[in-house]
């Protein structure tokens, strides 16, 4: 890694993992800021705190491109926001926490908690146990959040936990601050050749509400290699090492630390094709455990606060007309359940339009996810995306149509691109592909 780089990232952005990895491995000057934001600009972030970033970027480029000695390299290489507890849900006005600074990615101290037979998280290796989990492909939507990725804000995790193996710490007497990549080790077996294991780390508040802190998943067939997957042997118990996405969080006194384990987190993860039961093992010989990256005991508070956000300059002829979602991506709109077929259908939508000096650009997005608990192999995603440009008396519409389906052996990709003007097709192309499941 040889590029001098300035990074801005957010704890609620699904792409956040690359920042600590770059900080740890770069051989050149790097500066990074990790704040309590999702996939957005720091100066327009909602919920608060929003901060100005462009003044820092200008000084960075003035130094490295123009040779100005403006002190930017004497300032901390890493600035981060240590998140404090907040309730689950989407109606937050501010993310609680504090800003800290460091000369590099902070070194954490490992703290190991072991899964126990009574579904506790304990500090000593537990007695041997086996816990069983029936695979239910349609569950886990709450863990995916409205945008269906490891980012943004998630609702209360209790509905997802109802179909998971759940392990709780005792009520905390002291706060526990973490900063880094939690690591999960599972000893597990499945009575099917393919299975996913998804791990979530959450904070259980005294009122029982459960806030997702971070998580990750592993396709068991990829336990050794993504390039050369291997099916699971139903008679074998495997050690599965899962690194959770990077996070910062403070578990407060009176709260509990929770680990939840499932084989489905739909629609974030494509369902594995076989009805099955999985088995989780614990004890001295097969130690299922989570390793928490405990934050430094005495972090240095940020000495020079950020500037307050400045409004974007107005561009003549440009303004946003409408936007359906705050994230700018399709978000879950409706969820329907057919108990007769045990099928759940999730619809995610987005739409909006912007004005430009030359005219307007409008867009729509609709994504349907569908899967049945009876036939998980036959899941599907169907989506339509349109962009319409209306300028100088001409209206042209680009349409993207996707149908992605599966059975127990293959995935089926069907994608069409179409360009139209006033309802007349100008160009169209279709891609069809069959991809073996591995």
Q: Which domain holds residue 391?
A: 319-436
CA 406 to chain centre: 24
| Contacts of residue 339, Cβ cutoff 8 Å, sequence gap at least 6 | none
Tokens of 265: 């987190």
Site of tokens 């952005």: 13
Does the N-terminal peptide bond of residue 49 adopt cis geometry, omega within 30 degrees of 0? yes
d(CA 250, CA 259): 15
Give the per-residue pLDDT at 423: 85
Per-residue pLDDT 10s for the chain (438 aa) are: 678 999 999 999 999 999 999 998 888 999 999 999 999 999 999 999 999 999 999 999 999 999 999 999 999 999 999 999 999 998 899 999 999 999 988 888 999 999 999 999 999 998 999 999 999 999 998 988 888 889 899 999 999 999 999 999 999 999 999 999 999 999 999 999 999 999 999 999 999 999 999 999 999 999 999 999 999 999 999 999 999 999 999 999 999 999 999 999 999 999 999 999 999 999 999 999 999 999 998 999 998 889 999 999 888 999 989 988 877 788 999 999 999 999 999 999 999 999 999 999 999 999 999 999 999 999 999 999 999 999 988 999 999 999 999 999 999 999 999 999 988 999 999 999 999 998
In a domain, 221, yes or no: yes
Output the CA angle 90-92-98, nearest 5 degrees: 130
* Shared domain check, 70 and 151: no
Give the per-residue pLDDT at 26: 87
CATH number assigned to the domain comprising residue 14: 3.40.50.1820
Domain boundary among 80, 106, 132: 106
* Shared domain check, 134 and 119: yes
In a domain, 115, yes or no: yes
In a domain, 308, yes or no: no
* Shared domain check, 251 and 373: no
Q: In the sheet where 97-102 sits, what is the strand order?
A: 5-10, 30-35, 78-83, 97-102, 300-301
* Shared domain check, 57 and 36: yes
Measured CA to CA in angstroms, residue 378 lies from 274, 340, 371, 410, 412 at distances of: 10, 16, 7, 10, 11
Domain boundary among 255, 279, 294: 294
Question: Cα(first)–Cα(last) distance of the chain, in Å?
Answer: 32
* Shared domain check, 163 and 236: yes
Specify whether the CB–CB gap between 178 and 201 falls below 8 A. Answer: no
CATH number assigned to the domain comprising residue 202: 2.60.120.260
Three-class SS state of 220: helix
Specify whether the CB–CB gap between 36 and 100 falls below 8 A. Answer: no
DSSP of 37-95: --SS-GGG-SSBPP---HHHHHHHHHHHHH----SGGGS-SEEEEEE----SSS--SB-
* Shared domain check, 161 and 98: no
| Contacts of residue 141, Cβ cutoff 8 Å, sequence gap at least 6 | 160, 266, 267, 332, 335, 344, 346
Buried b (16+ CB within 10 A) or exposed e, 96-135: ebebbbbeebbebeeebbbbbeeeebbeebbeebebebeb
In a domain, 304, yes or no: no
* Shared domain check, 116 and 263: yes
In a domain, 226, yes or no: yes
In a domain, 61, yes or no: yes
In a domain, 39, yes or no: yes
Give the per-residue pLDDT at 1: 67
* Shared domain check, 163 and 288: yes
* Shared domain check, 265 and 342: no
Tokens of 22: 């770059």
Write down the pTM of the prediction.
Answer: 0.94
Give the per-residue pLDDT at 401: 98
| Number of domains into which the chain is organized | 3
* Shared domain check, 181 and 202: yes
* Shared domain check, 289 and 253: yes
* Shared domain check, 351 and 387: yes
DSSP of 1-20: ----EEEEEETT-TTTTHHH
d(CA 81, CA 97): 7
Measured CA to CA in angstroms, residue 403 lies from 159, 342, 408, 427, 431 at distances of: 29, 21, 17, 19, 11
**CA-CA-CA-CA dihedral for 114, 117, 121, 123, to nearest 10:** -50
In a domain, 312, yes or no: no
Three-class SS state of 366: strand
Domain boundary among 106, 123, 140: 106
């Amino acid at each position: 890694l040889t590029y001098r780089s300035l990074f801005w990232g957010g704890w609620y952005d699904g792409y956040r993992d690359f920042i600590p990895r770059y900080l740890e491995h770069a051989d050149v000057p790097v500066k990074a800021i990790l704040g309590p934001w999702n996939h957005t600009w720091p100066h327009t972030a909602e919920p608060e705190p929003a901060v100005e970033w462009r003044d820092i970027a200008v000084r960075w480029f003035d130094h490295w491109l123009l040779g100005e000695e403006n002190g930017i390299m004497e300032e901390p290489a890493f600035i981060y926001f240590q998140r404090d507890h907040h309730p689950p849900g989407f109606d937050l006005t501010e993310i609680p926490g504090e800003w800290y600074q460091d000369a590099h990615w902070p070194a954490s101290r490992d703290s190991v908690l072991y899964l126990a037979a009574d579904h506790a998280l304990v500090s000593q290796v537990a007695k041997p146990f086996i816990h069983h989990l029936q695979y239910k492909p349609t569950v886990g939507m709450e863990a995916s959040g409205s945008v269906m990725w490891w980012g943004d804000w998630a609702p209360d995790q209790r509905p997802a936990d109802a179909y998971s193996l759940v392990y709780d710490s005792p009520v905390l007497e002291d706060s526990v601050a973490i900063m880094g990549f939690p690591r999960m080790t599972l000893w597990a077996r499945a009575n099917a050749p393919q299975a996913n294991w998804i791990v979530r780390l959450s904070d259980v508040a005294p009122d029982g509400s459960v806030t997702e802190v971070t998580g990750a998943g592993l396709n068991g067939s990829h336990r050794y290699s993504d390039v050369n997957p291997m099916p699971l042997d139903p008679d074998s118990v495997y050690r599965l090492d899962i690194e959770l996405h990077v996070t910062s969080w403070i578990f407060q006194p009176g709260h509990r630390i929770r680990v939840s384990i499932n084989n489905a987190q739909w629609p974030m993860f494509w369902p594995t094709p076989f009805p099955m039961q999985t088995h989780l093992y614990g004890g001295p010989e097969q130690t299922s455990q989570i390793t928490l990256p405990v934050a430094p005991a005495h972090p240095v508070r940020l000495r020079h606060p950020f500037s307050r956000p400045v409004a974007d300059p107005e561009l003549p002829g440009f303004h946003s007309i409408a936007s359906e979602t705050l994230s700018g991506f399709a978000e879950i709109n409706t969820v329907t359940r057919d108990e007769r077929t045990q099928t759940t259908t999730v619809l995610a939508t987005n739409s909006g339009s912007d004005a430009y000096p030359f005219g307007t650009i409008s867009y729509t997005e609709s994504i349907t996810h569908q899967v049945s608990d009876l036939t998980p192999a036959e899941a599907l995603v169907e989506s339509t995306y349109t962009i319409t440009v209306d300028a100088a008396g001409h209206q042209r519409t680009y349409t993207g149509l996707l149908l992605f389906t599966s059975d127990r052996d293959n995935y089926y990709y069907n994608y069409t691109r179409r360009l139209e003007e006033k309802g007349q097709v100008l160009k169209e192309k279709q891609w069809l592909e069959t991809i073996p499941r591995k």
